[in-house]
């Protein structure tokens, strides 16, 4: 199943894929997956949180300049 949510820090739209078995297990345990996914951060924000540095821009941007 594909869930669409926003990054908690930068508000960028991201999509998270969850296996149907995991989704079913969450529902059986009473865990609301959509509520949990509101706490997810995107890859760029996770990289910044772990290292303290922002990722460099994509190479295509350098070719444009």
Cα distance between residue 7 and residue 39, in whole Å: 8
pLDDT band at 27 (very low <50, low <70, confident <90, very high): confident
Q: What percentage of the chain exceeds 70 in pLDDT? A: 86
Cα distance between residue 64 and residue 53, in whole Å: 23
pTM (predicted TM-score): 0.60
| Joined tokens for residue 2 | 């594909």
Whether the per-residue pLDDT at 64 is higher than 60: the answer is no
Cα distance between residue 52 and residue 32, in whole Å: 31
Cα distance between residue 37 and residue 54, in whole Å: 23
């Amino acid at each position: 199943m594909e869930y669409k949510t926003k990054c908690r820090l930068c508000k960028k739209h991201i999509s998270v894929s969850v296996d149907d078995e995991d989704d079913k297990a969450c529902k059986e345990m009473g865990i609301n997956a959509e509520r949990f996914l509101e706490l997810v951060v995107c890859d760029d924000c996770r990289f910044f949180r772990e290292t303290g540095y922002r990722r460099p821009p994509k190479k295509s941007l350098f070719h444009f300049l």
